[in-house]
Amino acid sequence: MLITFEGLDYCGKTTQAQLLVEQFKQFGKDVLFIREPGGTSISEKIRAILLDKQHNELTQKAELFLFSAARTQLVSEVIRPALEARKIVVCDRFYDSTTAYQGYGRNLNLAEVLAVNKIAIDGIVPDLTIFVDIEIDEIFKRQEAAGVLADRMESSGREFFKKVRDGYWMLAQEVSERFVIVNGKRPVDIIHNEIWHVIEKRII
């Protein structure tokens, strides 16, 4: 079983993914938490390239291929073996991020992005995707409150993030059978309880 978390930067999806993993463990479930890009030695090296602000010359298509390269390595090394072992896999981002960020956000040809996604995932599709939604202004409020420097992707600007958010909403409508939208502006425990309620109804 594969559960993915999606959303804009600083939406709180990582926190919610980790809370879900802990909840599964309390119920004795065999669960694995991974993030994208990353999760393997090669994928982590690609992640470092993608997020480094010194790599501003990176083209949009190169960005697409690097995210996809990290993903296919993760699928081959980690996700597929875990699913075959009947583990629950909780992934912080998956190919919907590429559709939203590179397809809608970067204005790349959507058909080409979807084709690259299909190659990268090699048939692995999430059973459930949790989209933690926040407004654009909230990104910058949370970033300022965190007091950390933005990485290359986080520095893409307000208009970019608006396109990404719109892309996520489009995806949520197109694949509504697996997308669940939750309001990310509420307290962490309330969001977690809502997500767990969804899990109980659909999976457990």
Write out pLDDT tens, residues 121-174: 999 999 999 999 999 999 989 988 988 888 888 788 899 999 999 999 999 999
Segments of the chain with pLDDT less than 70:
204
pLDDT value at residue 184: 98
Q: What CA–CA distance (Å, rounded) separates 118 from 126?
A: 13
- pTM of the prediction? 0.94
pLDDT value at residue 152: 80
pLDDT value at residue 153: 82
Which residue type sits at 57?
E
pLDDT tens figures, 131-142: 999 999 999 899
89 neighbors 32 (Cβ within 8 angstroms): yes
Which CATH number does 2-202 carry?
3.40.50.300
pLDDT value at residue 97: 98
Torsion of CA 153, 155, 160, 162, to 10 degrees: 100
pLDDT value at residue 34: 98
* Domains of the chain by residue range: 2-202
